[in-house]
């Protein structure tokens, strides 16, 4: 529309201006309604991820309602079991790391060993980092849920404000209940909604819109559902690897790297905290620095190799997907425009825009 060879008449300029104004008005409206749209967006994304599992259950249990509730029960039970197994381990790791940090800061024997074995500039940098208020407050937290609340407040202040608000805990429960209700109703009517929206389109538009929808569905299945599966497995592999080499806070770090892997290769950011924890562990145990660092690096190499040679080809396929640069740019732009709601819809909207561009705009440019 904009990059073709048609002359820019007054009528065309007016139509382009109106279209741009409508788009900006839509962004403003989404931002204005973000507080009520966030629970729906969260539930919609969860329904999109969970629906394939519901379809598998439905093959055994033909009743859709029963299949949905069995699936949700199984998933919630799995989450509860993982929490029951992992939370005590994570809390114990945090408590142990808090003790180590205190020993480092208070010039104990451990701090003297670190000063003797580390280069002076590295030791000073580590000590300056450990004595910061943020680090000390992080490891001073005894309650896991207080720690979780602190992390969410810093990472997602908008979302936390939505969940707590002025009524605090009660509003948080209400927000969670709304998400669960949305999720149940979306899963119950998921297949019907997929067919219903097609019938709502004018006949002349059904073909082009369905073509874009197929491209969008293909992109989302690769870049969202597929990447979520890869990220989950990578997080588990990192946690197991760090647990085997006895790295402090290994399980928490591994799960965090799995979340970061939603953006491909972003887990390399975890090299810095992983190597820092390896240095601390080497001083604490008296092992060789190079041995501990080598083991930590080996975990990254092994997991990355498994991801690139097995997980990505099997789950994502060999088709090139969204590049990490595009994903990061998308998250940054949509997050800036719409806050937490923008982060939720960033990848779907980017896939939709690219599907439209490839299907129509690029085709027009080739044929003109």
Nearest to 189 by CA among 322, 321, 68: 68
pLDDT of 163 reads 46
What DSSP designation does 321 have?
-
**pLDDT tens-place string over residues 153-176:** 544 444 444 444 444 455 556 777
Scan for tokens 């605090």, then name that residue: 168
pLDDT for 93 beyond 60: yes
What DSSP designation does 268 have?
G
Among residues 179, 200, 221, the one where a domain terminates is 200
- Residues 298 and 288 placed together within one structural domain of the fold: yes
- Residues 171 and 213 placed together within one structural domain of the fold: no
Diameter of the chain by CA atoms? 79
- Residues 244 and 151 placed together within one structural domain of the fold: no
- Residues 173 and 235 placed together within one structural domain of the fold: no
Q: What radius of gyration do the chain's Cα atoms show?
A: 25
Q: Which residues form the domain of 76?
A: 34-200
What the block records as the tokens of 99 is 């003790």
Question: How many structural domains are present in the chain?
Answer: 3
Torsional sign, CA 104, 109, 115, 118 = negative
d(CA 66, CA 58): 8
In which band, very low, low, confident or very high, does the pLDDT at 242 lie, cut at 50, 70 and 90?
Answer: very high
d(CA 45, CA 60): 24
What the block records as the tokens of 241 is 């690897």
- Residues 165 and 300 placed together within one structural domain of the fold: no
- Residues 114 and 216 placed together within one structural domain of the fold: no
- Residues 279 and 143 placed together within one structural domain of the fold: no
d(CA 24, CA 18): 10
What the block records as the tokens of 59 is 């093959």
CB 230 within 8 A of CB 311: yes
How far is the CA of 6 from the CAs of 16, 17, 362, 367, in angstroms?
Answer: 13, 16, 16, 13
d(CA 137, CA 26): 42
What the block records as the tokens of 141 is 């937290």
Other CB atoms closer than 10 Å to residue 159's CB: what's the count?
19
Other CB atoms closer than 10 Å to residue 117's CB: what's the count?
14
Among residues 165, 200, 235, the one where a domain terminates is 200
Which residues have a Cβ under 8 Å from the Cβ of 144 and sit 6 or more positions away?
Answer: 87, 90, 91
**pLDDT tens-place string over residues 12-47:** 777 778 888 888 888 888 888 877 788 888 888 888
- Residues 28 and 55 placed together within one structural domain of the fold: no
- Residues 1 and 50 placed together within one structural domain of the fold: no
pLDDT of 332 reads 82
pLDDT of 368 reads 54
pLDDT for 224 beyond 50: yes
- Residues 160 and 216 placed together within one structural domain of the fold: no
- Residues 195 and 282 placed together within one structural domain of the fold: no
189-196, long-range: CB < 8 A, 24+ apart: 190/47, 190/51, 190/54, 191/64
Angle CA 193–199–205, to nearest 5 = 120
pLDDT of 287 reads 77
- Residues 2 and 101 placed together within one structural domain of the fold: no
d(CA 49, CA 187): 10
pLDDT of 165 reads 45
Average of per-residue pLDDT across 330-334: 82
Nearest to 256 by CA among 224, 287, 234: 234
pLDDT for 88 beyond 70: yes
Angle CA 222–228–230, to nearest 5 = 85
d(CA 42, CA 190): 15
Among residues 200, 233, 264, the one where a domain terminates is 200
């Amino acid at each position: 529309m904009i990059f073709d060879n048609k002359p820019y008449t007054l009528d065309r300029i007016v139509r382009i201006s109106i279209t741009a104004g409508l788009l900006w008005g839509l962004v403003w409206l989404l931002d204005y309604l973000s507080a009520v749209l966030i629970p729906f967006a969260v539930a919609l994304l969860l329904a999109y991820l969970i629906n394939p599992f519901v379809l598998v259950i439905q093959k055994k249990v033909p009743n859709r309602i029963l299949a949905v509730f069995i699936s949700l029960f199984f998933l919630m039970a799995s989450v509860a079991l993982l929490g029951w197994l992992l939370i005590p381990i994570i809390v114990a790791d945090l408590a142990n790391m808090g003790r180590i940090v205190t020993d480092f800061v208070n010039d104990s024997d451990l701090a003297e060993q670190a000063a003797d074995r580390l280069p002076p500039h590295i030791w000073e940098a580590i000590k300056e980092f450990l004595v910061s208020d943020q680090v000390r407050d992080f490891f001073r937290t005894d309650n896991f849920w207080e720690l979780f609340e602190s992390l969410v407040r810093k990472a997602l202040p908008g979302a936390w404000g939505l969940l707590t608000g002025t009524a605090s805990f009660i509003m948080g429960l209400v927000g969670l209940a709304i998400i669960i209700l949305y999720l149940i109703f979306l899963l119950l009517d998921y297949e019907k909604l997929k067919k219903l929206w097609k019938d709502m389109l004018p006949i002349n538009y059904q073909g082009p819109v369905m073509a874009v929808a197929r491209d969008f569905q293909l992109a989302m299945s690769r870049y969202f559902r597929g990447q979520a599966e890869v990220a989950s497995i990578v997080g588990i592999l990192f946690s197991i690897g760090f647990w085997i080499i006895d790295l402090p806070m290994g399980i928490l770090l591994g799960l965090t790297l799995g979340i970061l892997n939603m953006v491909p290769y972003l887990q390399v950011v975890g090299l810095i905290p992983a190597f820092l924890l390896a240095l601390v562990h080497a001083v604490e145990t008296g092992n060789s620095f190079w041995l501990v660092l080598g083991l930590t690096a080996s975990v990254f190499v092994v997991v990355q190799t498994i991801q690139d040679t097995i997980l990505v080809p099997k789950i994502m396929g060999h088709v090139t997907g969204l590049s990490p640069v595009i994903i990061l740019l998308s998250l940054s732009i949509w997050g800036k425009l719409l806050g937490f709601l923008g982060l939720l819809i960033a990848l779907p909207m980017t896939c939709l825009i690219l599907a439209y561009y490839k299907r129509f705009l690029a085709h027009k440019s080739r044929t003109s």
